[in-house]
């Protein structure tokens, strides 16, 4: 807070008066970054494109944002995951992202003439968000890693399976092997 006061040219009490507590300031930073991230992703998704192109554009924008803000991602999202009240705030942001992705998946499935239950869509959206966050962590830790290459890797991992789901295919476990006679 001393550094913020010095950089802004006001006293430390004035920083608290304007910005509130350190926790309130951190939550404001989380919300600002989450908003910027969502805007950068939503801004490139064209609903008239095929579902794979929508996902591709969204992934590229997401990883480009993380690649351009590696330190911000590492500090804000990692620190927020591990302590309250930030973890709750981050969970709310993650849920907004999950809802947006589930909505996009529903639209893609409807375009293919399929309807899938909301629970299935939300489960898939949570999986996509979790995988994206994990790869974003890796990207933030690897200064030589290219955001475009990360987006391509995720697209390959996700779309090959999602493409099959869009066409109604589902994985099912193999039936249990019959027991051998004694």
pLDDT for res 165: 66
For 64-114, how does the pLDDT look when each residue is reduced to its tens digit (9 = 90+)?
Answer: 999 999 888 887 777 777 777 788 888 888 898 899 889 888 888 888 788
**Looking at the whole model, is its pTM more than 0.85?**
no
For 121-136, how does the pLDDT look when each residue is reduced to its tens digit (9 = 90+)?
Answer: 899 899 999 999 999 9
Helical packing angle, 118-141 and 86-111, nearest 10°: 120
Instruction: Give the residue-averaged pLDDT of 126-151.
Output: 93
67: in domain:
yes
b/e map of 65-87 (b: 16 or more CB within 10 Å)? Answer: bbbebbebbbebbeebeeeeebe
pLDDT for res 83: 75
Of 40, 43, 51, the C-alpha closest to 147 is 40
First to last CA, the chain: 75
For 10-31, how does the pLDDT look when each residue is reduced to its tens digit (9 = 90+)?
Answer: 888 887 787 778 788 878 888 8
171: in domain:
no
* Range(s) of the domain holding residue 62: 22-166
The residues, any chain, with a CB within 8 Å of residue 10's CB and separated by 6 or more, are 18
Q: What is the CATH number of the domain that holds 89?
A: 1.10.357.10
Q: What is the mean pLDDT of the chain?
A: 84
26: in domain:
yes
49: in domain:
yes
Q: How many domains does the chain have?
A: 1
């Amino acid at each position: 807070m001393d550094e913020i006061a010095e950089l802004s040219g006001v006293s430390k009490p004035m920083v608290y008066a304007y910005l509130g507590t350190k926790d309130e300031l951190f939550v404001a930073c989380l919300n600002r970054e989450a908003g910027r991230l969502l805007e950068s992703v939503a801004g490139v998704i064209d609903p008239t494109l095929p579902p794979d192109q929508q996902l591709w554009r969204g992934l590229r924008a997401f990883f480009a944002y993380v690649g351009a803000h590696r330190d911000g991602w590492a500090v804000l999202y990692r620190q927020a995951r591990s302590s309250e009240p930030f973890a709750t705030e981050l969970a709310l942001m993650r849920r907004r992202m999950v809802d947006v992705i589930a909505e996009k998946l529903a639209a893609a499935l409807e375009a293919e003439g399929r309807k899938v239950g909301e629970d299935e869509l939300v489960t898939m959206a949570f999986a996509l968000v979790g995988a994206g966050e994990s790869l974003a962590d890796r990207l933030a830790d690897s200064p030589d890693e290219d955001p475009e290459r990360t987006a391509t890797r995720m697209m390959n991992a996700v779309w090959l399976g999602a493409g099959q789901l869009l066409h109604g295919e589902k994985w099912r476990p193999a039936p249990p092997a019959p027991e051998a006679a004694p």
